[in-house]
Structure 1
Amino acid sequence: MASGTPLPKNVLVFGATGVIGKYIIQELYNARSSFGKIGFFTSKSTAETKAGDVNGWKAKGVEVIVGDVNSEDDVNKAYKGYDVVISALGRNAIAAQIPLIKLAESAPSIKYFYPSEYGTDIEYGPASATEKPHQFKLQVRKYIRENTKKLKFTYLVTGPYSDMFFSPAGKDERIGSFNITEKKATLLGTGNEKISFTTMRDVGRLLVAALETPTTSHERTLKVNSFTTTGKEALAEFEKQTGAKWEVSYTPLDALKKVEKEAWEKDSPHKTSATLRRIWLEGGTLYNVRSNGEIGFEGKEETLEGHVREIIAKHDGV
């Protein structure tokens, strides 16, 4: 920690009951001794439809603030008493972060803001600027660079979530699939391409590590991951732990590009996944140096072996 840089103490989360948000709030709670106050902002409808989760967090001492994310008054009231904002808003709500950032910039207590960056590196190279799934995140970064001065921002770039990648693909197995029930996999490319993954639990743990290593910079990009593997290596681990030989098929890169093009033309629900998986297959998760060590997380990551064990245990209801 830089001399004189205060540790973030009071943490407010947006999107805490969502896909990645539930892992983030859990790991913040697990590390609660490092923080003064933990809270999350949620809508009235979410508080009602996910009442079990919301009331469970209340019972544990997490502050739950119910309001309208589009109301400046509700958001300003929520910011009082907090010094760091964590956004875990989903892909369809990424642009909604801009007004949250605008209000945080003028809020007296807020010093740090973590935008919802979890996933693929949106500034990996020149081609990143035109990738369709990146556009809202790029707009957020543009806004930050042109309109903020006070806040310190951290982009936690995690790459693909292994929990989702090593699962059935749904209706289109051509974009890659690991199906434990049927002992069947569709590997992308040749199966030998390296992809760096982050487990969803590690996303939360890495975020806590980043909070415990504050920055003096206006913008900090942390490129982190749990492990790097290939499709064939992952398949071998699943076969070893399930004790069965799996049926395997392949979607070469050229074929994946055709699937991607078709998905966007037909406005398929798999269009974004097809593009992201093509980016990963082309090496878009591989970095010369990862940032795990910068935040004291090197050697603490989940492993491929351990994660496959967890996935199988969940599937078997263990």
Structure 2
Amino acid sequence: MSTPTNNSLFLIGGTGGLGTEVAKGLVTATGFESKKAIVRDASSDKAQALADMGWTLVEVKDLTDADLLETALAGVQTVVSTLSGNDMVSLESNIIQSAKKTGATLFVPSQFGVDFYRWGTEFPFLAGKKAVQEAAAAAELPVLNVFTGYFSDWIFGFFVDLENAKVTWIGDGSDKVSFTSRDDIGYVLAKALADPEYAQGGSLSMQGDYASFNEATKWLGESLGKDIAVEYMNADDAKKLESELLVKGLEGDVGAFFGSFKYHLMGEPARGNDGCNLSKQAKDYGHELKTLKQVFGSGVYSGSS
């Protein structure tokens, strides 16, 4: 059961690419007695970077060990996960069980991205998010989902052939979607954790920009000092290609799987899916999130071209 001493914020997955960025702002959260980061190796450079930010390190070498997790999570109130990878669902399910047993009252899963309630969870990668939700519901642990749209400081390296300065958009490229830089997420989430509206969970949306793929391509090209050649693909043809690649991906072809996911993310807006339009419900709590032009201007994609 939760006790008056359960007043700690825990971050799990903070040494990963997303976690490192989220940790920067999340450490500013107020109202917690302590802020702890669970890491596999406290002596690693990435773990030490978290300590330098102000996180107290708690070493857990095996996240599948329930006893170790429950001991590490002593005093927990809120758990934020930024885990990724093939074992994310099983690991987060384990964390949910341990967190509940040790008195946690809120879990923030690694669901950052599109609003899957509107987007749907048919794609296998997104189906995992639904499985985590079900695990939390079964454990009766409230969940706060965080919807950010596409990561503006990462997604164009996935969508665009930066080396050859070319891209193929699906549809006509005019569909608008939400974008957020990963290093802004933690700051907004930190404020939300002090908002009574989310004490029992819910859905938090944020966005740094709302723009079309055509607009983003133009601004990205300007920041790189080159014209990006753009081609367009019919949405139905793209869906067929997505399905063909997914079949190969599920047979073990990792490249095909991620290729399918790319077409899925690019294609759904062109097919009328508004699950990546967070403009109406987005919150910022006074934090100024970076626009696409600001992200591009930071040079984050310069080293990839």
What runs of 5+ residues in structure 2 fail to find an aligned partner? 250-255
Counting only pairs closer than 5 Å after superposition, residues 49-64 of structure 1 correspond to structure 2 as 51-59=44-52, 61-64=54-57
**Counterpart secondary structure, 1:90:** coil
Does the CA-based 8 Å contact 1:133-1:275 persist in structure 2? no
Offset, 1:59: 4.8
Unpaired segments of 5 or more residues in structure 1?
Answer: 1-5, 170-175
Contact 1:260 1:275 in 2 (8 A): yes
Q: Does 1:255 align with 2:237?
A: yes
Aligned letter for 1:76?
E
Task: Tell me, yes or no, if the aligned pair for 2:179 and 2:209 is still in contact at 8 Å.
Answer: yes
After superposition, the Cα gap between the structure-2 partners of 1:133 and 1:252, relative to the gap in structure 1 and judged at 3 Å, is same
Question: What does residue 253 of structure 2 align with?
Answer: none
TM-superposed deviation, 1:75 = 0.7
Q: Is the 8 A contact 1:28 1:38 kept in 2?
A: no
Distance 2:198 2:30 in 1: 23
CA–CA distance in structure 2, aligned partners of residues 216 and 122 of structure 1: 18
Match of 2:9 among 8, 11, 16: 11
1:172 corresponds to: none
Q: Secondary structure at the match of 1:86?
A: strand
Q: Within 1, Cα distance between the matches of 2:47 and 2:200?
A: 33
Q: Please report how far the alpha carbon of residue 22 of structure 1 lies from its aligned counterpart in structure 2 after TM superposition.
A: 0.7
Q: What is the deviation of 1:287?
A: 4.5
Equivalent residues in 2 for 1:191-270, closer than 5 Å: 191-215=173-197, 218-267=200-249, 268-270=256-258
Tell me if structure 1 keeps the 8 A contact 2:29–2:193.
no
Q: TM-score, normalised to structure 1's length?
A: 0.80
Aligned residues: 289
Task: Go from structure 1 to structure 2 and tell me whether the alpha carbon gap of 1:243 and 1:57 turns closer, same or farther (over 3 Å shift).
Answer: closer
Q: Give the CA deviation at 1:204.
A: 2.1
Is 2:91 aligned against 1:96? yes
Q: How far is 1:9 from its partner?
A: 5.7
Which of these residues, 122, 147, 161, is aligned with residue 139 of structure 2?
147
- Say whether the 8 Å CA contact 1:226–1:301 is kept in structure 2: yes
Aligned to 2:34: 37
Q: Structure 2 counterpart of 1:309, which letter?
A: G
Q: Could you say what secondary structure the match of 1:124 adopts?
A: helix
CA contact (8 A) 1:11 1:37 kept: yes
Identity of counterpart residues, as a percentage? 21
**Residue type of the alignment partner of 1:101:** I
Residue 303 (structure 1) aligned with residue 291 (structure 2): yes
Alpha-carbon separation, structure 1, partners of 2:72 and 2:269: 37
* 1:285 corresponding residue in structure 2: 276
Deviation of 1:303 (Å): 0.9
